Structure formats: C-alpha cells, structure tokens
Amino acid sequence: MKKKLLGFLSLIVILALFRLPLMAGKSAPATWTPSDKLVAAYYFYWYNIYTGEHFITPDGSDYITNHPPDSYLANYSYTEVSWHRRELLDMMTAQIDIVLPVYFGNEESFFWSKSGLQNLVSATQSLMDEGRTPPKIGMFFDTNALLQQNNGIPPDLTTETGKAHFYNMISDFFALVPNNLWATINNRPIVFLYSSTIVSAYDQSTFDYINQHFQADFGTMPYIVRDTSWQGVSTDEAYSWGSALYGPTTNGRVGTLGPGFDNTALANYLGSAPGIRDRACGEFYNSGWEAMMSAGVNLVVIETWSELHEATEIAASREYGTKYISLTAENVLRWKATDYGTLPYIWLDFGKRPYQQGLQPAINFPDGAWLVTTLAGREAAYPDVTTTPTSHFIYLDVNDAFAHATPRDVWVTIEYFDGGSDQWSFQYDSVSDPYAQSESVVLQDTGQWKRHTFHLTDAYFGGREAGAADLRLTDNDWVDGKVNYFGRIWISRSELDNQAPDLAEINDVALMVGQVIEIPVSMSDPDGDSILLTLDRDLDFTTFTDNGDGTGILRLAPTGSDVQPCPYLIRVIATDAGKPSLADAVSLRVDILTSDRFLPLVIRQE
Ligand SMILES: [Ca+2]
Ligand SMILES: [Ca+2]
Ligand SMILES: [Ca+2]
C-alpha cells in the first residue's frame, strides 16, 4: 500500500516537473524572476474584417475610434494566424516581452476568444520554431466574461460553484497555451485580473481555491496581478486599470501607462458622452514612460496593444502609423537601461514639466496639491492652499532601487526661494516614525534661490506616508500660515561636495515653417565647473551647439514635415564636471505653424 502510494506520488512529481515551462526560444529565459524588468501589453484580438465583428456596430456605423492601417486590413482577423504573426512581429519591434490576450472563454457567446487564442499560439510557436523570440503569453482575465456567462447576474466567488467557474477560466486558458509559451515569474504563469466590480462576493478563499487547483492540475501556481478594485485579498501583485485615460500609476513593482484614450465611436453608438485623453502627439505617453523610469517598477503593463474602440492602441494604426511602436521601443530600451540602485544620488526639478531622476512627486490628494510659478528665473513648486482640505504638503516618492525600507544615512538638499521671513521643513519616513520632522529652515528674505542640506541618520523610505510617499515638503503653515517655494531636491548617499549649475529659463516659441530661430542658452555654476549642454531628445528640426563656455545656441529650422497639431516639448540639460556631476534642466514648448494660419479667416460682410 505504502509502496503504491509512493509510486503514485513520484508519478505526480514527474508530471509536475513535466508541467514546468520548458526551455523556450534561443535567447528567452525559461522563466523570469521578480527582479527582471518586463514590459507587457494587453492584446485585444476580437476583430474580424471578414464579418465586420468589432469593426461595425449592429446599426452599421463605425465601431472603432482608431483603425488598422489600410495595408493591414486584408487579413485583420483573429481567424488568421498570419494576422497574429504580424502583430507579434510588431510587438517584438516595440520590445514587448509579454502579450496579454484578453480572454473571455465561452465559445458560444465569444467565439473569437478560444479560437483566436489558438491562432495566437500557432503564430507564436511558429516564430519560435524559426529561432525568433516572440513575446511570451500571459492571461488577461476579463472578468466581464463571468458576468455574461452567468446570465448577467454578478457571480458569488465565495461559493463552490462560483470558485469553480472562476478557476475554470484560468485553467482553460493555460490548457490552450502550451507551457513553453507561458510568460512566467519564478515558473508561475502570469495572470492579470481585471476589475472586481462585476462580482457580488469574493474573499481570500477564492484565490486559495485557484492556487490549490492550479497546483494540482499544472504543478505550479499562477502569478496573479489583480486590479486594485479587488480589496481585502492578497495576491502576488496589484495594478490599477485606467491609466490610458487617467494617467500612469505605480503599485509596488507594477507600473501602468497608456498612450491616450478616445472612445468616441463606441459612445456615439451607445448615445453616451465619450471619455477622451488627448495623446498630445505622444507627449502623454512619453511622460508616462518618464514616470516609469523614475519609479522603481519592474513590470510595466501598457494599456493597450490593440483596443481600437477606446483608441488606446500602440499597435500600427491608420491614424498614427507605427509611431507608437517606435516610441515604445525607444522608451523600453531607455527604461531597461535606467538603474538608480547604484547611483550616488537621485533628484527632481520641479516645474510644469518636472524633470524626475529617481525622485518624483507622489500623490496630490487630499492635502498634497501643488502649483508652479516662476520666481527669480526658476520654476517653483508651492502647496496649493486653495484646496479643500487645504494642501500644505508636496509628497515625494524615492525610487525603490535607490532606497527602500532599510535604515540608512542620507543627505537631502532642498533648493528654496528665500523671500519673506517665514519658515518651512519636511517630514520623512524614518526608522521610528513615518512622518519624522526635519529641522525648520527660517527665511532671510534675500529674494534669491538658496539650498539647504539636511543629514538624516535614520531614513527608512518605506513608502509609509500617505499614497506610499517617502517624504513630504511642508510650508509650516501651523507656525506662520505662509506658503514656501521649492526648486530642486537631491537625495544622496554621501554628502555632495558639489553644487548644481543653474540654467537660465527659456521662453516658449512659435515659428513658421521655413523660419529659423536661434535661441541663446546660458548657465552658471557656483563652483565654476565646466558644463556640458545637451538636449534630451533628437528632433529633425533642432540643432544644438555647445560653445563650451557655459553658453549654447538652440537652432530651430522646421520644414513642412515637422508640422504637428501640438507643440514639441524640448528640454535643455546642463551637466557640470563636478564629482559627482550635477545637472539642471529647462523645458520649452515649440509650436510650428504653417502659413495657412495667417490666411484671412473672417470675410467682412457689407
Ligand atoms: Ca519609494
Ligand atoms: Ca512657511
Ligand atoms: Ca558644480
């Protein structure tokens, strides 16, 4: 009896081993770990050009706000392996590691879901057979499917039936996807779980059930990343849906961002008001990536690869061509190369367009709203005391790779405007107190920018302040009732034996196609260091000359091909030769106009 049981158990072990993801394509690892930097994207594959599904509404109108490129239309259908293949190749160009197909299960109502997934699997497998490295496949569990499969009744996931139904969606998905194609972290397949709002009840036993059954069926447990609407339960990670519309988010190791949002086509059909987040010619997306780079996230999920109803796609489109594929690739490579874990300091330059290098503004509610003005040639951030409740704080988040939840010595240097005779301070997450009070700095009313360095011997930066912040600047309103103005902040591992240079502000400009403008750039350095001047991006119509003496010329010479419907955002960065080298950044907006704007727009009627 015992022998038989042992034999049976070892068979289970062998099966379990067999279930582990096998070695995948030539360069892809068999599994990732939580410290790998990974980029995932939600893959909506419900389109069928042949039948018009998800292209045309039942009343015959356009169902999608953005559209596939004309050259992609011929086979744009989940029924075509060749269509999935082209999307996968585009994802590879975009540097996507993980594709998250939206899964609905249920063949009768959502006949695209399983058959489309099978075609994605075929396309992925054939790319791997060719020695390529297509994205690995994770699950995007669209919980709306549960509602629809339950006759529109919100399911109760605390019952045996509800749990089984919930689990079957996951096990069906991973039965359809061979385990050598699974996107895994520590050998556990990744599941992004959409909102809980359609569920009537759930608790931790819902997730325990999934883990137990998945372990029994597949020899491992899923790596569940749940939407933050699932409250009071614990999973591996959490994320927040909605970043394409509301802006980027971070939850621990997971970051989300999107290129913009516009569901006009859908709203027209439903007779509702559309939600719109302007793409601002890519700047909304770029600023999301800047937030990802500065934050300590390791798993970034892009919302979305191909949701055309809501126009959140970064895939090729008629509207944008392959622009967002290129933008994604550039940003992913830059993000993966960014590591604050070994740098001597992090810093932040406040402004309308903050320059964040491992230190970034955190939440701004309920008492952390702030505004920007310009004082003595520098952009200044200050608490917005007009809010309810009144804001007297500016919350900041320290990059977790730089410092997180470990006692340490740090030096904090804060640049402030010395106007008036009041005072300010900050409160930081220390070993013993999440709001440890710094000494206060009393102003001397010189009307100049000054810097003050604090040595903290008990910094903890565990994100235990409101909104997971690590410190917050305050205007000491409780003492003097007067706001204070802040410029740059540096947090360093040892005392900085150098002062940062100061770049003079540059005005925004508007110019015509064919016009040439030369903008002088100048800076000074308190230590007299030599300075390198650079631009943060390479644009066709800009040339930058560094005179090598702390001055430079930004030359703008736009042609017709540079015209776009929104301004370009350009940053000039001055980096000194001190040790460590420190920097300053200024931003300007450049509007390129065509002569059309100057044609008479009003015709006088007599
Ligand atoms: Ca942090
Ligand atoms: Ca004050
Ligand atoms: Ca210097």
Counting ligands in written order, the one closest to the CA of 400 is 1
pLDDT tens-digit series, residues 195-237: 999 999 999 999 999 999 999 999 999 999 999 999 999 999 9
Statement: residue 15 has pLDDT above 70: no
State in Å: Cα 247 to ligand 2 middle. 31
pLDDT at 598 over 80: no
Three-class DSSP category at 537: coil
Distance between Cα 95 and ligand 1 center (Å): 26
* Ligand having the closest approach to the CA of 253: 1
- Cis status, amide bond into 34, omega within 30 of 0: no
Confidence (pLDDT) at 11: 38
In this prediction, residue 108 has a pLDDT band, given cuts at 50, 70 and 90, of confident
Residue 497 Cα, ligand 3 centroid: separation in angstroms? Answer: 9
Spacing, Cα 442 to ligand 3 middle (Å): 25
Q: At 544, phi and psi to the nearest 5? A: -125, 125
Residue 301: partners with Cβ closer than 8 Å, 6 or more residues away: 39, 40, 41, 42, 100, 192, 225, 239, 254, 255, 256
Distance 379 CA to ligand 2 centre (A): 18
Average pLDDT over residues 77-90: 98
- Compute the distance from residue 426 Cα to the ligand 1 centre, in Å: 16
Place of tokens 């002088």: 520
- Write the DSSP symbol of residue 376: T
> In this structure, how many other beta carbons lie within 10 angstroms of the beta carbon of residue 497?
9
Q: Using the mean position of ligand 3's atoms as its centre, give its distance from the Cα of residue 524 in Å.
A: 9
Ligand nearest to the CA of 524: 3
Q: How confident is the model at residue 366 (pLDDT cuts 50, 70, 90)?
A: confident
On whether the CB atoms of residues 386 and 370 are closer than 8 A, the answer is: no
Domains of the chain: which residue ranges? 37-337, 345-492, 502-597
Reported as a pLDDT band with limits 50, 70 and 90, residue 24 is very low
- Parallel/antiparallel/unpaired status of strands 223-227 and 188-193: parallel
Residue burial 562-586, b: 16+ Cβ < 10 Å; e: rest: beeeebbbbbbbbbbebeeebbbbb
Tell me the CA–centroid distance for residue 362 and ligand 2, in Å: 21
Does pLDDT of 1 surpass 50? no
Q: Compute the distance from residue 422 Cα to the ligand 2 centre, in Å.
A: 5
Per-residue tokens: 324:
């967002």
Which protein residues have a CB closer than 5 Å to ligand 3 (ion)?
Answer: 498-499, 525, 527, 529, 576, 578
Q: Across 384-437, where does the E strand assignment appear?
A: 393-398, 408-418, 423-428, 436-437
pLDDT in tens, 132-191: 999 999 999 999 999 988 889 999 999 999 999 999 999 999 999 999 999 999 999 999
Query: Which residues, in sequence order, are bridge partners of residue 373?
Result: 380
Q: How far is the CA of 435 from the centre of ligand 1 (A)?
A: 14
The residue that leads in pLDDT, 460 or 565, is 460
User: Percent of the chain scored above 70 by pLDDT?
Assistant: 93
Q: What is the mean pLDDT of the chain?
A: 92
Torsion 309-315-318-324 (CA) sign: positive
Task: Name residue, tokens 């006759």.
Answer: 151
Q: Scan for tokens 């993801």, then name that residue.
A: 21
pLDDT tens profile 38-75: 999 999 999 999 999 999 998 899 999 999 999 999 99
Question: How far, in Å, is the centroid of ligand 2 from the Cα of 485?
Answer: 9
Look-up: residue for tokens 């621990």? 252
What was the pLDDT predicted at 3? 38
C-alpha 391 – ligand 2 centre gap (Å): 13
Question: In this prediction, what percent of the chain has a pLDDT beyond 90?
Answer: 86
Q: Which amino acid is at 139?
A: M
pLDDT in tens, 423-454: 999 999 999 999 999 999 999 999 999 999 99
Distance 400 CA to ligand 3 centre (A): 27
Residue 378 has pLDDT above 50, yes or no: yes
Predicted confidence (pLDDT) at residue 597 exceeds the cutoff of 70: no
Other beta carbons within 10 Å of 364: 16
Lowest mean pLDDT segment, chosen from 23-27, 178-182, 291-295: 23-27
Residues 307-317 as b or e (16 or more Cβ within 10 Å = b): bbbbbbbbbbb
Q: Quick check: 391 and 368 in contact, CB under 8 A?
A: yes
The CATH number of 37-337 is 3.20.20.80
**Cα 272 to Cα 224, 245, 275, distances in angstroms:** 34, 17, 9
Query: Which ligand has the minimum distance to the alpha carbon of residue 497?
Result: 3
* DSSP label at residue 504: P
- Which class is 345-492 in CATH? mainly beta
345 or 9, greater pLDDT: 345
pLDDT at 605: 41
Residue 410 has φ and ψ, to the nearest 5°, of -140, 160
Tell the CATH superfamily of the 502-597 domain. Answer: Immunoglobulins (2.60.40.10)
Ligand nearest to the CA of 295: 1
Q: Which residues pair with 301 in a beta bridge?
A: 40, 256
Ligand closest to 362 (CA) is 1
- Listing DSSP states for 39-76 in one string gives EEEEE----BTTTTBTTB-TTSSB--SS---GGGGGG-
Give the CA count within 13 Å in the CB-facing half-sphere of 190: 34
pLDDT higher than 50, residue 604 = no
Cα of 234 to ligand 1 centre, how many Å? 21
Phi and psi at 530, nearest 5°, equal -75, 155
In this predicted structure, what is the pLDDT of residue 347? 98
